[in-house]
A and B are shown apart, each in its own frame.
Chain A
Amino acid sequence: MIDYCMQNDGAAVVIEGLEKSYGTAAGSTPVLKGVDFLVRRGECVYLAGPSGSGKTTLLSIIGCILSADHGRVSILGQDVFALSGKQRTALRRNSLGFVFQRFHLIRGLTTLDNVCVPLTLQGICPTSARRRAMSLLDAVGLADKADKHPCNLSAGQCQRVALARALVGDPELILADEPTASLDAANGQDVMELFRRLTTEEGKTVVLVTHDQRIFRFADRVFWLENGCAVENSREAQSKSQGSGETGSEQPLYAVSCDKSNGE
Chain B
Amino acid sequence: MWPIALKTLIADRGKLLTALVGVVFSIVLVNVQGGLFLGFITKAGLLVDHGKADIWIGHKEMHNVDFPRDIPRRWLNRVRGVDGVECAQPYLIGWSDMTLPSGGFESVVVVGVDRGSLLGNVWNMKKGRADSILKTDGIIVDECELAKLEFPEMNEVRELGGRRARVVGMSHGVMGFLVAPYVFTTFDRAAEYLRKAPEVCSYILVQLHDGADVREVCRAIRQRMPEAEVQPSNVFSAISTDFWMMRTGLGISFGAATLLGLLVGLVMVAETMYAMVLDRLGEYGTLKAIGATEKQIFSILLIQALMMATAGAICGLAAVSLVQYAFSTPRAPIIIPYWLSLGGCLLVLCICLVSSLLPYLRIRKVDPHTVLQS
Q: Does A216 contact B (CB under 8 A)?
A: no
Give A58-75 as 1s and 0s: 1 = Cβ < 8 Å from B's Cβ atoms. 011001011000000000
Q: Which of A93, A96, A104, A126 contacts B292 (CB 8 A)?
A: A93
Chief secondary structure at chain B's binding surface: helix
Docked complex Cα distance between A64 and B16 (Å): 34
How close is B14's CB to chain A, nearest CB, in angstroms?
12
Is there a chain B Cβ closer than 8 Å to A2's Cβ? no
Residues from chain A with a CB closer than 8 A to the CB of B296 are: 121
Q: Verify A104–B282 contact, CB threshold 8 A.
A: yes
How close is A159's CB to chain B, nearest CB, in angstroms? 14
**CA of A101 to CA of B370 in the docked complex: distance in angstroms?**
12
- Asked whether B283 lies within 8 Å of A104 as measured between CB atoms, the reply is yes
Q: How large is the interface on A (under 10, 10 to 19, 20 to 34, 35 or more residues)?
A: 35 or more
- How far, in angstroms, from A110 to B293 measured CA to CA in the complex? 22
Alpha-carbon gap, A96 to B290, bound state (A): 8
**CB <8 Å contact, A120 and B3:** yes
> For A107, what are the chain B residues with a Cβ–Cβ distance below 8 Å?
8, 11, 280, 283
- Within 107-140 of A, Cβ neighbours of B (below 8 Å) are at 107-110, 113, 116-118, 120-122, 126
Name the distance in Å between A147's Cβ and chain B's nearest Cβ.
12
Q: Which residues of A contact B293 (CB under 8 A)?
A: 86, 89, 93, 121
User: Is there contact, CB below 8 Å, between A109 and B368?
Assistant: no
**Interface mask (A213-242 → B, CB under 8 Å = 1, otherwise 0):** 000000000000000000000000000000
Contact call B11/A108, Cβ cutoff below 8 A: yes
Residues of chain B in range 232-283 having any CB-CB distance to chain A below 8 Å: 280, 282-283
Q: Is A53 an interface residue (CB 8 A)?
A: no
> Judging by beta carbons under 8 Å apart, are A104 and B371 in contact?
yes
Collect the chain A residues with CB atoms within 8 Å of residue B9's CB. Answer: 108
Task: Please give, as numbers and ranges, the residues of chain B lying within 8 Å of A60 by CB-CB distance.
Answer: 369, 372
With A59-B372, A65-B368, A116-B3 in contact, do A109 and B8 touch (Cβ < 8 Å)? yes
Q: Mark B332-373, 1 if CB is under 8 A from A, else 0.
A: 000000000000000000000000000000000001110111
Most A-side CB within 10 Å, residue of B11, B288, B290, B293: B290
Give, as a whole number of angstroms, the nearest-CB distance from A221 to chain B: 21
> Complex: how many Å from CA A93 to CA B368?
13
What is the bound-complex CA distance between A93 and B295, given in angstroms? 14
When distances are taken between beta carbons in the complex, the residues of chain A under 8 Å from B7 are 108-110, 113
A56 within 8 A of B: yes
A102 sits at the interface (CB 8 A): yes
Cβ-defined contact, A92 with B289, below 8 A: yes
Residue of A nearest to B283 (CB): A106
Q: Is A177 an interface residue (CB 8 A)?
A: yes
Chain B interface, number of residues (Cβ within 8 angstroms): 29
Q: Number of A-B pairs whose CB atoms are under 8 Å?
A: 90
Q: Given A106-B283, A121-B296, are A90 and B371 neighbors across the interface (CB < 8 Å)?
A: no
B374 CB within 8 Å of chain A? yes
A195 located at the interface, meaning its Cβ lies under 8 Å from any Cβ of chain B in the complex: no
Residue of B nearest to A166 (CB): B290
User: With an 8 A cutoff between CB atoms, is B227 at the interface?
Assistant: no
A108–B289 CB distance below 8 A: no
The yes or no answer to B12 lying at the interface (CB within 8 A) is: yes
Alpha-carbon separation in the docked complex, A64 to B1 (Å): 23
Q: Any chain B CB within 8 A of the CB of A100?
A: yes
Q: How far is the CA of A109 from the CA of B287 in the complex (A)?
A: 13
Q: Are A109 and B4 in contact (CB under 8 A)?
A: yes
Q: Which of A59, A96, A106, A149 contacts B286 (CB 8 A)?
A: A106
Assembled-state Cα–Cα distance A217/B361 (Å): 45
Q: Is B10 an interface residue (CB 8 A)?
A: yes
B291 part of interface (Cβ distance < 8 Å): yes
Residues of A within 8 A of B11 (CB): 107-109, 149
Minimum C-beta distance from A158 to chain B (A): 13
* Distance in angstroms between the alpha carbons of A59 and B287 in the assembled complex: 17
| Minimum distance in angstroms from B155 CB to a CB of chain A | 71
Interchain CB contact under 8 A, B291 and A90 = yes
A residues neighboring B (CB under 8 Å): 56, 59-60, 63, 65-66, 86, 89-90, 92-94, 96-98, 100-102, 104, 106-110, 113, 116-118, 120-122, 126, 149, 165, 177
Q: Using CB atoms and an 8 Å cutoff, list the residues of chain B in contact with chain A.
A: 1, 3-4, 7-12, 280, 282-283, 285-293, 296, 367-369, 371-374
6 tightest Cβ-Cβ pairs between the two chains A and B: A93-B291, A108-B11, A108-B8, A92-B291, A104-B286, A65-B368
Offer 12 A-B interface pairs, CB within 8 angstroms, sorted by A.
A60-B372, A63-B289, A63-B372, A65-B369, A65-B371, A90-B291, A106-B280, A108-B10, A108-B12, A113-B3, A121-B287, A121-B292
